[in-house]
A and B are shown apart, each in its own frame.
Chain A
Amino acid sequence: MATVLADALEDVTVIELGDSIASAYASKLLADLGADVIKVEKPLGGDFSRRLGPFPNDDPHPEKSGLFLYLNTNKRSLTLDVETESGRRLLEQVAARAGVVIASAQSGTFEYESVLADLAARREMVIATITPFGRTGRDAGHRGQAANTAALGGICGYLGATGRPLLVPPLELGEYETGVNVAIAVLVCVLTESGNRIDISEADCWATVQNGMGVIEFIFGGRVFARMGRGVKSGPYPNTILKCKDGYMRLIAMQRAEWERFLQVMGNPEWANDPRFTDRVTMNEKYSDELDAHIEEWMKEREKDDIFELCQANAVPFAPIYTIEEVMQRPEWREWFVTVDHPEVPGTLQAGFPYSMTLTPPRVRRPAPRLGEHTTEILRSVGIETDAVASLRSQLIV
């Protein structure tokens, strides 16, 4: 008879330490799969994202920050001042019951390194640390934010228009990519039931699995890609973004047949017969402005969803650039969002889960915690009496 588990990570306990999207997203992935994630927050003010918003009606409130509510759904909140000696001792007591610690810092040096070292020495635990540049290497001591790790990791070089400042990726994307890599390494250790120390660097994630494949071409051809605004003017035409009646379309055709079918969709226009427009690489390198203008002339009469439908019906892989509103309003994708009932912000739509699973689907078990909502129950579970919790609270240790 098979055991039945509602969640894949039932009975995995994770302690989350540190103010970053990367640690919050890593532990969110685990919490959504059923792990009991205890988020440690500073007693005064709590997690950084409580102050960031976005807030309903732009009215700041520590329990209503959209970023906090999203990243911390399914977690419990424990307030604890780890900068005090008694705070650190309490953390050790709570962490002694957990299998996993996920900690982040803005540089390679951790203020609570001694706590992590004590935990690691006491029992077999999985301890993952997330830093901008890693725990080792020449620049390990450097401070960094998402913009800086994206820069070192090479992403900024692709973003922006020629002659203007490079752009950094929006929404701290690198923190999310780091978080998913942390979740991978932690899960391998949970699966093999082995304690371990994991060192993840946000810059490494950009420089390797996201963006590390160009090195071979650099060595062989010295080819270095530079930003080109809305398109890429190397390789076959088109690979760009063009304007239509109500927005923008993304055009890319890896196969010649896809381009030819698009010409048919446009009714085989006269200009396409120009002998200069034969080799698609030459077209892209030399004539893309001229070609862009021809296509925009056709597209300006048409709306993006009509072009999308027409292209797809003819196996042309062009697609609209949707705004966030349009993405959220497509009925076919509605199940990729979830509605979460938080006592302060009821019935809010959030980005959902990255995958579905037939037996143990990720799910919403509880809304994001209020600051310190679970402090008493968590401390009591490690044998601290209610009176003692009250005293700790008056000293602002919890």
Chain B
Amino acid sequence: MVDRSRTATRELVADFGVDGALSWLRVVDFGWAWAGATCGQVLADFGAEVIKVESRTRLDPMRQGRPLVGKDPDPEQNPICHNVNRNKFSFSVDLKHPEGPGLVRSLVAEADVVIENMTPGALARLGLAYEDLAAVNPQLIMVSLPAVTSEGPLARTRAYAPTVSGLSGLDSLVGYEGEEPLGFQQALPDPNVGLHAAVGVLAALRHRKLTGAGQYIQTSQLRAMLPLLGEAVAEYALTGRVPGTKGNQRRGYAPHGTYPAVGDDKWVTIAVSGDTEWRGLCRALGRPELVDDPRFADGYERSLNHAELDQEIAAWTRTRDGMELVETLQAHGVAAAPCLDTGERFLHAHFQDREAYVPVEHPVLGNEFIYGAPWKLRDSQPGVWKRVPLLGEDTDAILRRILGLSDAEVARLREASALQ
């Protein structure tokens, strides 16, 4: 059987004059918060028609939070939402309304992919489990990406990305050498699972293209963290040692770490992986004699005596400007970069050249900058082609143009409060 998926650009995407690599793809996206939304964002950046299913009766946590403008709660102001739901269309429907699940099933019948990260079992209770949806669309590819797991006694575990970071073992590795764990203070499990889920979906689409068969993909924030910890897993498996906090020490590098520069809390990173770079660093420091210092003779000795070495380097960096330090080190072939904060990143010339942040016009916030696509392609460049939709902004268009409902039917559903 040949894959019947259309190759023509989906209609809502075509309205924007977009013809991306995935513009033939239609995605029904129950993904919410940050993790679930990232998977659909990847596909949408490549031009897919991604329909975010959401409701006023149970707001996406990323529609909530402190407003940036004014004082009242406003579902149109959350910064993370503006980033992870750009390029999408919003379909508002109350899944608790008797007609809600039926509308969604009809939409899935017309789609290629379903993404969801609801509490495990929530979709099944609405008759929207993979089995229910595959019955109306046998070629469907669906992915579930809850916090911990979809099955078994731990499926009910309440967790957020930071607690998943704790459960995964990652947090136990962040901290000063031999001291207590400080944890990874950034919600890595959220975007990480969304990206991995996208890999699974794309592979399943390739399989479907050759065989015509759909399938179900399961992952979780926790599960998708473990492949990142492969080196630590190997250390325990092969040596029996339990990896712990190592400060800035890394296997294969010395010196390696952050060093103070002039200014309030300014730091540069230096990572030396071999003797050529080490000699370059000694020249940059103006300390050619260090090359012959037995304490720093090779990578092993430098690693062993890293505390003294770090002091020597810090004594040099402390009185110098960060940007100058980096230029000097790079000129001597040493891998170095400044530690930037959010504002510095936004204004940094290199990231401006790379279009890391792109402007979009939003009806509530006005001119704003959201992150661009990390994938630079010669042809079919993905990117930001549409701002985040307002909650329910595309409901009518979806009902009329995809499901073929008449104006009267749409009006009746609205009247019956099914589209909240």
Residue among A66, A204, A222 making CB contact with B354, cutoff 8 Å? A204
CB of B182 within 8 A of CB of A241, answer yes
Which residue, A132, A196, A215, has most C-beta atoms of chain B within 10 A? A215
- Residues of chain A with a CB closer than 8 A to B101's CB: none
CB of A323 within 8 A of CB of B172, answer yes
- Residues of chain B with a CB closer than 8 A to A105's CB: none
CB of A241 within 8 A of CB of B171, answer yes
Residue among B234, B253, B382 making CB contact with A145, cutoff 8 Å? B253
> B224 interface residue, CB < 8 Å from A?
yes
Measured in the bound complex, the distance between the Cα atoms of B247 and A151 in whole Å is: 15
Of A85-93, A187-195, A267-275, A376-384, the one contacting chain B is: A187-195
Measured in the bound complex, the distance between the Cα atoms of B183 and A239 in whole Å is: 11
CB of A52 within 8 A of CB of B376, answer no
Of B92-100, B151-159, B411-419, the one contacting chain A is: B151-159
Residue among A69, A153, A213 making CB contact with B79, cutoff 8 Å? A213
CB of B258 within 8 A of CB of A166, answer yes
- Residues of chain B with a CB closer than 8 A to A254's CB: 61, 160
> B316 interface residue, CB < 8 Å from A?
no
> A358 interface residue, CB < 8 Å from B?
yes
CB of B167 within 8 A of CB of A319, answer yes
CB of B371 within 8 A of CB of A171, answer no
Contact flags (1/0) for A39-81 with B, using CB distance below 8 Å?
Answer: 0000000001001111111100000101101110000000000
> A23 interface residue, CB < 8 Å from B?
no
Of B9-17, B121-129, B335-343, B398-406, the one contacting chain A is: B335-343
Contact flags (1/0) for B333-372 with A, using CB distance below 8 Å?
Answer: 1111111111111101111011011000000010011111
Which residues of chain B from 159 to 205 have any CB-CB distance to chain A below 8 Å in the complex?
159-160, 162-176, 180-186, 188, 191-193, 195-200, 202-205
Q: Which residue of B lies closest to A194 (CB)?
A: B379
> A38 interface residue, CB < 8 Å from B?
no
Measured in the bound complex, the distance between the Cα atoms of B222 and A241 in whole Å is: 18
> A225 interface residue, CB < 8 Å from B?
yes
- Residues of chain B with a CB closer than 8 A to A213's CB: 79-80, 82-84, 370-371
CB of A345 within 8 A of CB of B227, answer no
Residue among A189, A207, A212 making CB contact with B21, cutoff 8 Å? A189
CB of A356 within 8 A of CB of B160, answer no
CB of A200 within 8 A of CB of B246, answer no
CB of A147 within 8 A of CB of B248, answer yes
Which residues of chain B from 9 to 48 have any CB-CB distance to chain A below 8 Å in the complex?
21-22, 38, 41-42, 46
CB of B68 within 8 A of CB of A323, answer no
Give min CB distance, B31 to chain A, whole Å.
Answer: 14
- Residues of chain A with a CB closer than 8 A to B389's CB: none
Give min CB distance, A196 to chain B, whole Å.
Answer: 5
Give min CB distance, B49 to chain A, whole Å.
Answer: 15
Using A250-B166, A351-B229 as known contacts, say yes or no to A323 and B337 having CB atoms under 8 A apart: no
CB of B250 within 8 A of CB of A159, answer no
- Residues of chain A with a CB closer than 8 A to B79's CB: 213-217
Contact flags (1/0) for A177-193 with B, using CB distance below 8 Å?
Answer: 10011011101111110
Measured in the bound complex, the distance between the Cα atoms of B211 and A360 in whole Å is: 11
Residue among B83, B229, B230, B233 making CB contact with A212, cutoff 8 Å? B83
- Residues of chain A with a CB closer than 8 A to B375's CB: 181, 184-185, 198, 200
Measured in the bound complex, the distance between the Cα atoms of B168 and A337 in whole Å is: 13
CB of B341 within 8 A of CB of A351, answer no
> A5 interface residue, CB < 8 Å from B?
yes
Which residues of chain A from 340 to 379 have any CB-CB distance to chain B below 8 Å in the complex?
345, 348-360
CB of B237 within 8 A of CB of A349, answer yes
Which residues of chain B from 282 to 340 have any CB-CB distance to chain A below 8 Å in the complex?
326, 330, 333-340
Measured in the bound complex, the distance between the Cα atoms of B379 and A144 in whole Å is: 27
Using A166-B258, A221-B68 as known contacts, say yes or no to A5 and B369 having CB atoms under 8 A apart: no
- Residues of chain A with a CB closer than 8 A to B57's CB: none
Give min CB distance, A203 to chain B, whole Å.
Answer: 8
- Residues of chain B with a CB closer than 8 A to A5's CB: 207, 210-211
> B212 interface residue, CB < 8 Å from A?
yes
Using A8-B203, A159-B174, A169-B184 as known contacts, say yes or no to A209 and B334 having CB atoms under 8 A apart: no
CB of A147 within 8 A of CB of B256, answer yes
Which residue, B202, B204, B336, has most C-beta atoms of chain A within 10 A? B202
Residue among A181, A197, A219 making CB contact with B374, cutoff 8 Å? A181
Q: How would you classify the secondary structure of chain B's contact residues: helix, strand, loop or mixed?
A: mixed
CB of B226 within 8 A of CB of A352, answer yes
> B408 interface residue, CB < 8 Å from A?
no
Residue among A199, A211, A215, A316 making CB contact with B376, cutoff 8 Å? A199
Measured in the bound complex, the distance between the Cα atoms of B143 and A127 in whole Å is: 28
Give min CB distance, A183 to chain B, whole Å.
Answer: 5
Q: How would you classify the secondary structure of chain A's contact residues: helix, strand, loop or mixed?
A: mixed
Which residues of chain B from 194 to 246 have any CB-CB distance to chain A below 8 Å in the complex?
195-200, 202-207, 209-213, 215-219, 222-224, 226-239, 241-244, 246
Interface residues on A, range: 35 or more
CB of B172 within 8 A of CB of A216, answer no
Contact flags (1/0) for A313-329 with B, using CB distance below 8 Å?
Answer: 00111111111111110
- Residues of chain A with a CB closer than 8 A to B159's CB: 317, 319
CB of B68 within 8 A of CB of A66, answer no
Using A48-B252, A207-B345, A328-B236 as known contacts, say yes or no to A167 and B339 having CB atoms under 8 A apart: no
Q: Which residue of A lies closest to B84 (CB)?
A: A213
CB of A324 within 8 A of CB of B181, answer no
> A98 interface residue, CB < 8 Å from B?
no
Contact flags (1/0) for B56-85 with A, using CB distance below 8 Å?
Answer: 000001000000110000000001101110
Residue among A137, A239, A327 making CB contact with B169, cutoff 8 Å? A327
- Residues of chain B with a CB closer than 8 A to A227's CB: 185
> A149 interface residue, CB < 8 Å from B?
yes
- Residues of chain B with a CB closer than 8 A to A249's CB: 166
Which residue, A2, A133, A316, A355, has most C-beta atoms of chain B within 10 A? A355
- Residues of chain A with a CB closer than 8 A to B61's CB: 254
Measured in the bound complex, the distance between the Cα atoms of B73 and A227 in whole Å is: 28
Measured in the bound complex, the distance between the Cα atoms of B284 and A26 in whole Å is: 34
> A228 interface residue, CB < 8 Å from B?
yes
> B278 interface residue, CB < 8 Å from A?
no
- Residues of chain B with a CB closer than 8 A to A55's CB: 238-239
Using A156-B267, A161-B182 as known contacts, say yes or no to A351 and B238 having CB atoms under 8 A apart: no
- Residues of chain A with a CB closer than 8 A to B336's CB: 142-143, 148
- Residues of chain B with a CB closer than 8 A to A259's CB: none
Measured in the bound complex, the distance between the Cα atoms of B229 and A161 in whole Å is: 23
CB of A196 within 8 A of CB of B379, answer yes
Measured in the bound complex, the distance between the Cα atoms of B251 and A228 in whole Å is: 26
> A121 interface residue, CB < 8 Å from B?
no
> A18 interface residue, CB < 8 Å from B?
no
CB of B1 within 8 A of CB of A1, answer yes
> A168 interface residue, CB < 8 Å from B?
yes
22 cross-chain CB contacts under 8 A: A2-B211, A3-B210, A8-B204, A8-B207, A142-B326, A142-B336, A152-B338, A153-B345, A173-B228, A176-B227, A177-B228, A192-B380, A196-B380, A197-B377, A208-B372, A215-B345, A220-B68, A252-B160, A312-B158, A352-B227, A355-B200, A357-B216
Which 5 A-B pairs give the minimum distances between C-beta atoms? Answer: A212-B371, A66-B234, A137-B353, A250-B166, A145-B271
Q: A134-B376, A161-B182, A323-B244 are in contact. List 18 more A-B contacts (CB 8 A).
A: A25-B227, A70-B233, A135-B376, A139-B350, A145-B335, A147-B256, A157-B342, A166-B258, A166-B339, A184-B195, A192-B21, A204-B351, A213-B80, A219-B368, A220-B68, A321-B181, A336-B226, A355-B196
